[in-house]
Amino acid sequence: MARRVVITGMGAVTPLGNDVQTTWNGLLEGRSGIDTIKSFDASKFETQFAGELKGFDPQKYMDRKEIKRTDKFVHLAVAASTMAIEDGGIEVTDPAEQERFGVIIGSGVGGIETHEEQHNRFLKGGPGRISPFFVPMMICDMAAGYVSIHCKAKGPNFCTVSACASAGHAIGMAFRSIKYGESDFMLSGGTEASITHMGLGGFCACKALSKRNDDPRGASRPFDKTRDGFVLGDGAGILFLEEYEHARKRGARIYAEILGVGSTADAYHITAPAEEGEGAQRAMKAALEEARIDPEDLDYINAHGTSTEHNDITETQAIKKVFGARARDGLVVSSTKSMIGHLLGAAGGIEAIATALTIYHGVIHPTINYQHPDPECDLDYCPNQAREMPVVTAISNSFGFGGHNVSIVMNKI
């Protein structure tokens, strides 16, 4: 028998703040967390700005030895997971419950900073200079592994790697693990620390990034006619998912219920979305079908909304195809990326948090920098100012290079 799954805790580290509340306040204020890169000299790159973290201190969550032996993307995952458990007001200490407590955390690139550092050491000093911790520091699954050690979570434990859909897939798998009785509690979401020389350089090389070096805060402008690419961001977003009856019995605060998840492939192109967002259409339809929600009953979509030419058009087309008249009458869309940039494998985690908070508080954060309407992007994108509005049912979309699509339907309890 299928069980109900609810969100009872959240943790986040983002370019807007080192916790959920600070991030949420920034989103509602329409504040940009994007600025000129400070962590290294980016003057030789075509794009010289990103959504970097400000003042994040991993020592609040890990000891010095652990920090030294792990990559930044792991630090962020441990921090956000610790916050999610604290926010959920639960500590899983019973041995039997720990075996029903799992961790699935996605990452698109894993320890890219470690890879760069160790490769430089190899070039300068040969194989003997490579750290014995190189491999466990680099591989994407180490975020889920370290979090499970910290939390004594002995249930399902793995990493999803599907580019910018990684966190969405992780949340979907965690949802199903609880729904079908494999686990009772799951920490799930995504983590990424890709603002490095190679991370920035790679996306510059494939012409994916905005080049508005004279206006970093105005560079991420989803659905705006003058958009010219996305903006890299670092961070992590983790949800604490729980079986509904357990949460109800302990009197837990419930942000939202997850009702359905849709996952599809474009089977079209390694980077470009399918025409008219065909794969995205099927993902949203599948999520609505599992949720048993009619398209005309949806209130809000937290869009993938990257600020790239093709994504914003095809996502708009997909929404219009799936929701018909509702797309132009009552359905509101907004993009979290307009303020924090694109967190790649962590994007879906932060955006799922934003979607759940939208439902919980009844207020939709804006899409900032929306100044020039695009005739091909003609929906209500909640431009520039937050909007108070009852939101009962919402979708969070995540799409990734490789043609991966994930849609998650949430509902108010």
Encoding tokens for residue 90? 């639960």
Rounded to a whole number, what is the largest CA-CA distance in the chain? 64
Tokens 């994916």, located at residue: 208
Catalytic residue list contains 304:
yes
Q: At what angle do helices 20-29 and 347-361 cross, to 10 degrees?
A: 70
Rounded to whole angstroms, what are the CA distances from 219 to 78, 134, 379? 30, 35, 21
Residue 98 CA to residue 93 CA, distance in Å, equals 7
Tokens 């009872």, located at residue: 8
Instruction: Read off φ and ψ for residue 79, nearest 5 degrees.
Output: -60, -50
**214: exposed, middle or buried (C-beta count within 10 Å: 0-12, 13-18, 19+)?**
exposed
Residue 366 CA to residue 383 CA, distance in Å, equals 5
Q: Which of 304, 365, 377, 382 is catalytic?
A: 304
DSSP string, 164-233: BTHHHHHHHHHHHHHHTTS-SEEEEEEEE---SHHHHHHHHHTT-B---TT-GGGT--TTBTT---B-BB
Encoding tokens for residue 26? 């920034």
Within 10 angstroms of residue 191's Cβ, the number of other Cβ atoms is: 39
Q: Output helix, strand, coil percentages for the chain, rounded to the nearest 5.
A: 40, 20, 40
Strands 101-106 and 157-158: parallel
Q: Which of 150, 169, 246, 342 is catalytic?
A: 342
Residue 83 CA to residue 254 CA, distance in Å, equals 16
Residue 400 CA to residue 107 CA, distance in Å, equals 12
Q: Which of 140, 164, 377, 382 is catalytic?
A: 164
Within 10 angstroms of residue 353's Cβ, the number of other Cβ atoms is: 29
Q: Which residues pair with 224 in a beta bridge?
A: 373
CB-based contacts of 222: which residues, under 8 Å, 6+ apart?
Answer: 303, 305, 306, 307, 312, 335, 337, 338, 367, 369, 370, 381
Residue positions annotated with a catalytic role: 164, 304, 342
